[in-house]
Structure 1
Amino acid sequence: MVKLSDVLTWNPQSNAMRACSIQRMILLVCLVLTLAPVPVLAASITGTIACMGEGVEGVVVSDGYAFTTTDKQGFYTLDSNKKYGYIFYVIPSGYMPLAGENDWEDRLFGGFWQTLTSPEDKDKDERHDFALQREENDNHIMVFAADPQLGNRKDTKDMKIYKKLFLPRIKREIEEAGSTPVYSTVLGDLSWDRYWYANHFNIADYKAYVVKNHKSYNMRHFCVMGNHDYDPATPYSGETDLLASALYRRTVGPTYYSYNIGKIHYVVLDDIIYENKPSKSGKYEKGIVGTRDYKAGLTDEQLAWLEKDLSYVDAGTPVFVSMHAPAWAENGHFEVVAQLKYNNTTARLCQMLGKFRTVHIMSGHRHQCCNMQPEQFPNIMEHTLGAVGGNLWSSSGYTGHPVCVDGSPGGYQTFTINGKDISWQSHILEGAGNEQMRVIDVNTLKELQRGDSTWQTILKTYPGRQDFSKMADNTILVNVFNYDNEWTVRVYEDGKELPVSRIRCEDPYVTMTFDIPMFKKEKTYRKGDATKYNTHTFLAVASKPDSKIRVEVTDRFGRTYHTTKQFPIACTLEALAPSGI
């Protein structure tokens, strides 16, 4: 692994000249690659994997292409084409990488992979040894978070809010876990390529920031690569994806890999194919040489790697697959449909996972929450997480409230693993951290929407936005952030249960925290950060406007969350912001 002290000497301030020279260099490299034959497995990578000086047998080793396993002495030999410039092993159950007490880079990010010494010399043999330590982890907690997308921005104060809200929550998870080990997986878009050069904050700076805050983020940080974690100074070519991921691979680690914790097999995939095609105008922001576009899906090479990786795993082992872009999505009719159509990725991936009884796909990218179980693959459940900072920390910058485009608050999820038994729960950054729903009085909402001139302008400017005046009087909306089909939602008016229906709906709280403040300032808003329709809102209609309303939601594990409110409820930020249930 390349140390941060080596990487962070790179100075992006002179990027204009640097980008030009990089373009010439990459074009030359691409010409050589075009003329060169397909790489063969020429170099021999050898080493040992040991614990307390004793070799560990049967550990799987890979370079992202080829595989081997260690023998009885913990020795391995791998013929490698050195394409990705690293070697890694699949962490075996009951172990974790050994790292020095104060080596926080290795303790958080490394230990299971190393950069090759001479990646450019395809014929040069190398030796890479690894050390393990025993760790009882059949029972453990995995924290999943998505899209922190830090960019050292002044407008949203993303770094300040991340440190103020997210890091204390992470620290609390460790404290509350006691002796149970806690790990984390971040589901891509750790950084924001748009600000790599403008704000001098790239993927290596993200890593340095987490390492610096290790007293709060004191858990292993498994990383997923997102579309914003590529170097946007890489010109478009046939090798853009490989070249633009070079800094990530040198500092953060492999873009796809796997590891075992307890009785669970975890896989990380890279389902972004970065292209960075030139724009028609030829105009770019500082340091950027393309449109930062990409395809979402998996290449044949990565699918072949995954098939081989899974061949080492027993069918009875629960499998978690973490990647950035979701494999599935839920449409307005509540149907689960394939999302990764490039290379028929969704179907091929799920067919490959078909032999396993329990599969959880973890994804982010969309900045909204959705839990899906495709009918054709009943063993698979996908959890698409909302972003840690909501809509790119944008609502935080305007109102101090991080909220995703579907109304779910910024936060993360914890998966509690006891052997093969798995349960999960969402946590938010505000309030008590356990709020699972938002209750909205449509009577007061209609008054606000009707009387707010900016909101009325938004409705006229952006056709398709939700006009709440069309809803019946005394309507109650309940946004259940982490809903799945095993949850129940009940609404009571003065003790009498009301009929409840699931609807496709906007959450007005997003409009209030972001759309309206930005529109007032800019006379427009960024559609990607603005309110989106969600599929986890429920509707009931009361008989009168001033009833006592009780809402109870129960998750698939039997945990019930409830709130009682005397209507009418004010439609204000203070009334709708998370507090705790």
Structure 2
Amino acid sequence: MNKFLFPLWMLLVTASLTAQTTAKGYVYNDANKNGKKDRNEKGIAGVSVTNGRDVVLTDGAGQYQLPLGTDNIISVIKPSGYNVAVNADNQPQFYYIYKPAGSPEMKFEGVKPTGKLPASVDFGLTAAADNDNFTALIFGDPQPYDLDEIDYFTRGVVAEVEGIKNVPFGLSMGDLVGNDLSLFNPYIKAVKRVGIPWYNLLGNHDLNFDAETDEMADETYEAHFGPSNYAFNYGKVHFIILDDVLYPDPRDAKGYWGGFRKDQLAFVENDLKYVPKDHLIVIALHIPILDIWDDAFREEDRDVLFQLLKEYPNTLSISAHTHLQRQEFLGKEQGWLQEKPHHHFNIGTTSGDWYSGKLDEKGIPISVMRDGTPKGYAFIHFNGNQYTIDYKAAGKPADYQMEVFAPNLVSSVKKNKAYVYANFFIGSKNDTLQYRVDGGTWKDMEFMEKPDPSYTELVMEWDTTNELMPGRRSSDPEDCNHLWRGKLPVHLKDGEHVIEIKATDMFGKIHTATASYKSATIK
């Protein structure tokens, strides 16, 4: 044997092994939008790329290099000033899946074998005129369990925002479907109709329930949507999308638990190294990091996340999952490490109370949630590193921000305990609500946490009817944490009286509503 051949052979083997344990490529300006790097297309420097744990920046030529295992998704973290391509279904194409052997065999198919890694895994971006002032459209839990509910979602929610203008992207907050992962494609076709790039995150009803480890529980999700942990930038906002569903539950291997694996928290830490401190950090996850239910979220994981965010004065976290709506402000008691409380918005759902309730004029369930919040969606308006939020009740005018409950008739001479109630959907206990009757003096309303009587009335209709109604009985009422009441005055003249309600939200916006009731004398 030639003594020079052995070292050359070893060099080739080493190079081959390196090629399969290292991903490298370019992030480049895809000027002609053909999806491949042409010779005259320049690389983009300083762009973050990740393997799901490690994060690196591209060099001056736009090149990156990352360690690679046998189950990785390489993704570019879209910088501000650029767009990623979308496929025919408006799903952003910012990732490359590397699973040489494919996903393990499960009830619902995962990723097919991807084979050998390409010599260069490149990501094309196109220059865009990012505006620091923009709006994102947010859907909570579409969660259809069958094609009928896909239809309810499509006609009841998607149709309302189809062709929307001046909104650069949308995001669904998990539970894209209801356990039947064959519904991913019908769901994708539904949100495609909105007509804008659409991001997604994983919910507890989007899992491969026959997976033996948490790492394998998102295989079908990955096949349809890519990584379940990723990030992107728009304007002065950095979005981090996280799978916070631990399945199987690490405590007893049954069910699920809210929290993160160590590699996910490592991804957040590595990602934030390259994010300016003055940017707004938006954490999007399915299960809320709140103490809504006992032990619903692993507190030590929340503590680590808060530790990673402590140097960022502008933060927001958003979730869904509960089929309720609430605003919470987390302070030191919850482990937050800044003086200014952290705002967590638990968003109401597009499926409402799981497509229950009476049918509307289109044959779609009204699906009011258990706290009286109507099904709907949110708009988050960003201006630099600041934001405001609007909630839009599906099928209702934009100014429908409160449900008001008042008695129909009260005595005009006897003492009474009649109250007017206002369920202010976007509200929190920090907000101010006032009311007045017949143009009188404005008075403060009393905040309380109890079931919304307007929702209780909806449920009771199912229990007191003498005729079966189409649709499905709504769930039992739960306490609403955005409910106020005011005592109605007595000794008014017989006849109709007008109640005006004025709500000032956390962003200083004023919302109004009216109702009426009658006074009468017993004869």
- Aligned equivalents of 1:41 and 1:345: distance in 2? 35
Amino acid at match of 1:270: D
Counterpart of 1:493 in structure 2 is 437
Task: Compute the displacement of 1:231 (Å).
Answer: 2.3
Counterpart of 2:418 in structure 1 is 474
What SS does structure 1 have at the residue aligned with 2:264? helix
The counterpart of 1:322, out of the listed 249, 267, 284, is: 284
Counterpart of 1:420 in structure 2 is 385
The counterpart of 1:407, out of the listed 354, 367, 372, is: 372
Counterpart of 1:66 in structure 2 is 54
- Aligned equivalents of 1:384 and 1:48: distance in 2? 38
Normalized per residue, the structure richer in helix is 1
C-alpha distance 386-112 of structure 1, shift in aligned 2 (>3 A): same
Task: Compute the displacement of 1:249 (Å).
Answer: 0.8
- Aligned equivalents of 2:249 and 2:472: distance in 1? 21
Counterpart of 1:255 in structure 2 is 228
- Aligned equivalents of 2:463 and 2:221: distance in 1? 33
Amino acid at match of 1:104: A
The counterpart of 1:147, out of the listed 141, 151, 155, is: 141
What SS does structure 2 have at the residue aligned with 1:76? strand
What SS does structure 2 have at the residue aligned with 1:478? strand
After superposition, give the CA deviation of every residue in 1:285-332 in whole Å (9 maximum; x if it has no partner).
xxxxx97x211111222112111111111211110000001111469x
- Aligned equivalents of 1:263 and 1:351: distance in 2? 21
Counterpart of 1:537 in structure 2 is 483
C-alpha distance 410-341 of structure 1, shift in aligned 2 (>3 A): closer
Show the 5 A alignment for 1:60-209: 60-83=48-71, 85-99=72-86, 103-105=87-89, 108-116=90-98, 118=100, 125-126=117-118, 127-137=120-130, 138-152=132-146, 157-171=148-162, 174-175=164-165, 177=166, 181-193=167-179, 195-196=180-181, 201-209=182-190
Show the 5 A alignment for 1:2-401: 43-51=21-29, 52=31, 53-83=41-71, 85-99=72-86, 103-105=87-89, 108-116=90-98, 118=100, 125-126=117-118, 127-137=120-130, 138-152=132-146, 157-171=148-162, 174-175=164-165, 177=166, 181-193=167-179, 195-196=180-181, 201-211=182-192, 213=193, 217-232=194-209, 234=210, 237=212, 239=213, 241-275=214-248, 293-329=255-291, 341-342=297-298, 344-376=300-332, 377=336, 378-395=340-357, 400-401=365-366
C-alpha distance 321-439 of structure 1, shift in aligned 2 (>3 A): same
Amino acid at match of 1:91: K
| Preserved CA contact (<8 Å) 1:328 1:346 | no
Q: Which has the larger radius of gyration?
A: 2
**Larger deviation, residues 481-490 vs 351-360:** 481-490
C-alpha distance 539-202 of structure 1, shift in aligned 2 (>3 A): same
Task: Compute the displacement of 1:369 (Å).
Answer: 0.8
Instruction: Give the paired residue count.
Output: 459
What SS does structure 2 have at the residue aligned with 1:319? strand
- Aligned equivalents of 1:309 and 1:41: distance in 2? 24
Show the 5 A alignment for 1:551-566: 551-566=501-516
- Aligned equivalents of 1:170 and 1:93: distance in 2? 25
After superposition, give the CA deviation of every residue in 1:253-273 in whole Å (9 maximum; x if it has no partner).
111111101111000111101
Task: Compute the displacement of 1:227 (Å).
Answer: 0.1
Task: Compute the displacement of 1:542 (Å).
Answer: 1.1
C-alpha distance 472-299 of structure 1, shift in aligned 2 (>3 A): farther
What SS does structure 2 have at the residue aligned with 1:250? helix
Amino acid at match of 2:22: S
C-alpha distance 515-221 of structure 1, shift in aligned 2 (>3 A): farther
**Larger deviation, residues 345-354 vs 90-99:** 345-354
C-alpha distance 477-46 of structure 1, shift in aligned 2 (>3 A): same
Residue 437 (structure 1) aligned with residue 402 (structure 2):
yes
- Aligned equivalents of 2:225 and 2:464: distance in 1? 38
Amino acid at match of 2:84: P
Gapped regions of structure 2 (runs ≥ 5): 1-17, 32-40, 103-112
| Preserved CA contact (<8 Å) 1:56 1:72 | yes
| Preserved CA contact (<8 Å) 2:74 2:97 | yes
After superposition, give the CA deviation of every residue in 1:179-228 in whole Å (9 maximum; x if it has no partner).
xx4211111101110x44xxxx43344224433x3xxx111111111000
- Aligned equivalents of 1:526 and 1:515: distance in 2? 13
Task: Compute the displacement of 1:119 (Å).
Answer: 5.3
- Aligned equivalents of 2:463 and 2:233: distance in 1? 45
| Preserved CA contact (<8 Å) 2:379 2:390 | yes
C-alpha distance 436-486 of structure 1, shift in aligned 2 (>3 A): same
Task: Compute the displacement of 1:436 (Å).
Answer: 0.9
- Aligned equivalents of 2:388 and 2:134: distance in 1? 11
- Aligned equivalents of 1:396 and 1:361: distance in 2? 33
- Aligned equivalents of 2:175 and 2:238: distance in 1? 23
What SS does structure 2 have at the residue aligned with 1:391? coil
Counterpart of 2:108 in structure 1 is none
C-alpha distance 558-72 of structure 1, shift in aligned 2 (>3 A): same
- Aligned equivalents of 1:80 and 1:441: distance in 2? 63
C-alpha distance 358-543 of structure 1, shift in aligned 2 (>3 A): same
What SS does structure 2 have at the residue aligned with 1:160? helix
User: Percent sequence identity over matched residues?
Assistant: 22
The counterpart of 1:509, out of the listed 437, 441, 454, is: 454
Task: Compute the displacement of 1:508 (Å).
Answer: 3.3
- Aligned equivalents of 2:464 and 2:220: distance in 1? 37
| Preserved CA contact (<8 Å) 1:256 1:269 | yes
